[in-house]
Amino acid sequence: MMPSSIRARLTLWYVSLLTVTLLLLGGAGYGVLSYSLSHQVDQALSGVARVLAEHGGSDQNPGFPLDVDEVFRRFFGFSPWERYFRMLDPLGRRDPRHGAERSEKLPVSPIAIENASRGLPTFETVELGEPHPVRILTFPVVQGGRLARVVQVGTSLQSIIETRNRFLLIMAGLLPLGLLLAGAGGWMLARRALLPVDRMTEAANRIGAEHLAERLEETGADDELDRLARTLNGMLARLDAAFSQVRRFTANASHELQTPLTILKGELEVALRSRRSPEEYRETLQSELDEVNRMIQLVDGLLLLARSEAGVLGRGSQLLDLAELVHQVGSRLKVLADAHSVELTIETLEPVLVLGDAEHLSRLLSNLVENGIKYSGPGGRVAISLERLGDRASVRVSDTGPGIPEELREQIFQPFFRSPDAISHRGVGLGLSIARAIAAAHEGSLEVESSPEQGSTFRLILPMRRF
Ligand code: ADP
């Protein structure tokens, strides 16, 4: 089972990798060492055999002329106690004149004699019942083109085996020690590297909905953790903005609901204080009905925005003729335009089909046209036009009003936003945000273009249906 902390996991991985690496390196080292030691022994045996073949055992020079200890010393650097040498005749029989007593034990393998008869040397490793195996070289001495004798030399493999064992012992001792040190080092390094994560966790725990203005510490190192802190800070900033917006929205909504309720209450209290004529009651009730209607409109708008925020404001599936809808809204608002002495013109082409909700789209268009009339003022003009832009339909509502300053062009789409000079118009500031929410629900967009001299133009783009 994997440990649950990253620190422990990192250390475990690190130590495991190091173990594998050290084992591989140790294995390779052991292999190279064994090979070179064996190679060295074989080389030395060849050297000794060659010297003995040249100088010893000839008929003119019976007996070993050289001090074999000396020869061994020359090639091995020392004279091993367990050294073997002897001469054999071409058939592999021992020549009693040459050879050490203890060499009697050396075996003569048929393969070695066979190889010797073909002029080839043979290396063999044999057990002679001694504590360590013996390496033997059977070496042919060729004179006058025929096999004259066979030299056999051997040496115990004790020193090689001891060196190899010493190497294994050192490895076995150093490996756990090295791994222990590396593990402790890895553990400390992981702790150091993950310290910022601990700090981040602490800070993130501290930051609740009430402390969204707090930020995680950025080190400026531009490493992975710094980038993570920056990303989280970006997320916190967005959350902070969203929370503030929700708070503002709630405060504004309560305020907007409170105002008509206070007016209602005041009017009702005044009406009840003394007896009134039926006309006066009627007047009071009418005024109250206006306030109630205003509240219904407000609550209705809030509900629509809430549904849009929740992503459940559907587009509807009615196939609508946008041209007809524009005409209907225009005709309905002509009365309002006339009342404000505003000239309202409508320009549409042939039918433009869109999929949508007729009630919502009428509301969107009405909001734009009503604003145009409201802000143009007497003598102004409002024009509605519909055109096709490829596979999209574009509705433009232009007016000759005061226009919208550049810095407010995005803000006007925020719920409850009203420019300071628009507050006297008694709007609540939901019209444009509702219009944009409806456009978005229809997979369309609503933007504004404006210049102070030429008024404002709102452009609604909707995807068109072709049949
Ligand atoms: P309301 O009209 O109820 O105040 P809206 O959401 O419709 O709310 O508009 C928000 C703000 O956008 C308005 O207060 C006004 O400042 C600005 N605005 C909207 N339409 C126009 C327009 N046609 N010309 C100038 N300003 C406008």
CB 393 within 8 A of CB 464: yes
- What tens digit of pLDDT does each residue of 177-213 get? 999 999 999 999 989 888 888 888 888 888 876 788 8
What is the value of pTM for the model shown? 0.59
Residue spans of the domains in the chain: they are 6-163, 224-309, 318-463
The pLDDT of 154-158, averaged and rounded, is: 89
Rg of the chain (C-alpha set): 52
pLDDT at 349 over 80: no
Residue of 128, 88, 134 lying closest to 112 (CA atoms): 88
Q: Best mutation site among 418, 423, 425 for ligand 1, i.e. most ligand atoms within 8 A of its Cβ?
A: 418
CB 181 within 8 A of CB 189: no
d(CA 52, CA 68): 8
For domain 6-163, give the CATH number: 3.30.450.20
Residue nearest atom 12 in ligand 1 by C-alpha distance: 412
The pLDDT of 438-451, averaged and rounded, is: 93
Q: How many CB atoms lie within 10 A of CB 465?
A: 14
Residue of 151, 195, 187 lying closest to 47 (CA atoms): 151
pLDDT at 322: 94
Those residues with Cβ within 8 angstroms of residue 203's Cβ, 6 or more apart along the chain or in another chain? 214, 216, 217
Could you tell me what percent of the chain has a pLDDT over 70? 89
Q: Is 448 in the pocket of ligand 1 (CB under 6 A)?
A: no
Residue 405 DSSP symbol: -
Residue 297 DSSP symbol: H
Burial class (CB in 10 A: 0-12, 13-18, 19+), 109: middle
Atom of ligand 1 lying closest to residue 433 CA: 6
pLDDT at 58 over 50: no
Residue of 312, 386, 304 lying closest to 349 (CA atoms): 386
Q: Is 435 in the pocket of ligand 1 (CB under 6 A)?
A: no
pLDDT at 326 over 60: yes
d(CA 272, CA 275): 7
pLDDT at 65 over 70: no
Q: Is 398 in the pocket of ligand 1 (CB under 6 A)?
A: no
Atom of ligand 1 lying closest to residue 417 CA: 10
pLDDT at 70: 66
- H or E stretch including 36? helix 6-55
Residue nearest atom 16 in ligand 1 by C-alpha distance: 419
Q: If you measure from the C-alpha of residue 454 to the centroid of ligand 1, how many angstroms do you get, rounded to a whole number?
A: 16
Q: Best mutation site among 342, 375, 456 for ligand 1, i.e. most ligand atoms within 8 A of its Cβ?
A: 375
Q: Which amino acid is at 70?
A: E
Q: Is 404 in the pocket of ligand 1 (CB under 6 A)?
A: yes
**pLDDT, mean over the chain:** 86
The pLDDT of 457-462, averaged and rounded, is: 97
The pLDDT of 205-222, averaged and rounded, is: 82
- H or E stretch including 61? none
User: Token match 């550049």: residue?
Assistant: 406
pLDDT at 62 over 50: no
Among positive and negative, which fits the CA dihedral 370, 372, 378, 384?
negative
Atom of ligand 1 lying closest to residue 429 CA: 8
Q: If you measure from the C-alpha of residue 347 to the centroid of ligand 1, how many angstroms do you get, rounded to a whole number?
A: 23
Residue 261 DSSP symbol: H
Q: In what order do the strands lie in the sheet with 381-389?
A: 343-347, 381-389, 392-399, 455-463, 445-451
Q: Is 228 in the pocket of ligand 1 (CB under 6 A)?
A: no
Q: Is 380 in the pocket of ligand 1 (CB under 6 A)?
A: no
User: Confidence class of residue 77 from pLDDT cuts 50, 70 and 90?
Assistant: low
Q: Is 372 in the pocket of ligand 1 (CB under 6 A)?
A: yes
User: Confidence class of residue 301 from pLDDT cuts 50, 70 and 90?
Assistant: very high
Atom of ligand 1 lying closest to residue 402 CA: 25
Q: Is 427 in the pocket of ligand 1 (CB under 6 A)?
A: yes
pLDDT at 423 over 70: no
Residue length of the chain: 467
d(CA 113, CA 92): 6
Helices (H), ranges, 118-223: 158-206
Q: If you measure from the C-alpha of residue 141 to the centroid of ligand 1, how many angstroms do you get, rounded to a whole number?
A: 117
Q: If you measure from the C-alpha of residue 272 to the centroid of ligand 1, how many angstroms do you get, rounded to a whole number?
A: 38
For domain 224-309, give the CATH number: 1.10.287.130
Q: Is 429 in the pocket of ligand 1 (CB under 6 A)?
A: yes
Residue of 338, 464, 326, 339 lying closest to 396 (CA atoms): 326
Q: If you measure from the C-alpha of residue 455 to the centroid of ligand 1, how many angstroms do you get, rounded to a whole number?
A: 12
Concatenate the DSSP letters of all residues of 330-397 into one string: HHHHHHHHHHTT-EEEEE--S--EEEE-HHHHHHHHHHHHHHHHHHH-TT-EEEEEEEEETTEEEEEE
User: Which of 147-151, 160-164, 231-235 shows the lowest per-residue confidence on average (mean pLDDT)?
Assistant: 147-151
Q: Best mutation site among 419, 421, 446 for ligand 1, i.e. most ligand atoms within 8 A of its Cβ?
A: 419
Atom of ligand 1 lying closest to residue 418 CA: 14
Please give the C-alpha separations between residue 445 and each of 138, 205, 252, 372, in angstroms, as whole numbers: 98, 39, 25, 18
Q: Is 422 in the pocket of ligand 1 (CB under 6 A)?
A: yes
pLDDT at 424: 58
Residue nearest atom 21 in ligand 1 by C-alpha distance: 371
- What tens digit of pLDDT does each residue of 44-53 get? 899 888 888 8
Atom of ligand 1 lying closest to residue 397 CA: 23
Q: If you measure from the C-alpha of residue 352 to the centroid of ligand 1, how many angstroms do you get, rounded to a whole number?
A: 28
CATH class of 318-463: alpha beta
Region of residue 92 (left: phi > 0; alpha: psi -120 to 50; beta: else): left
d(CA 439, CA 397): 14
**C-alpha 59: how far from chain center:** 86
User: Confidence class of residue 237 from pLDDT cuts 50, 70 and 90?
Assistant: very high
Q: In what order do the strands lie in the sheet with 122-126?
A: 94-99, 83-88, 146-156, 134-143, 122-126
User: Token match 């294995």: residue?
Assistant: 27
- Inter-residue long-range contacts of 75-78, CB under 8 Å, 24+ positions, other chains counted: 75/43, 75/44, 75/45, 75/47, 75/48, 76/44, 76/155
CB 183 within 8 A of CB 26: no
Q: If you measure from the C-alpha of residue 442 to the centroid of ligand 1, how many angstroms do you get, rounded to a whole number?
A: 22
pLDDT at 91: 82
pLDDT at 348 over 80: no
Report which listed range, 82-86, 98-102, 387-391, is most confident: 387-391
Residue of 153, 148, 161 lying closest to 75 (CA atoms): 153
User: Confidence class of residue 103 from pLDDT cuts 50, 70 and 90?
Assistant: low
CB 317 within 8 A of CB 355: yes
Q: Is 371 in the pocket of ligand 1 (CB under 6 A)?
A: yes
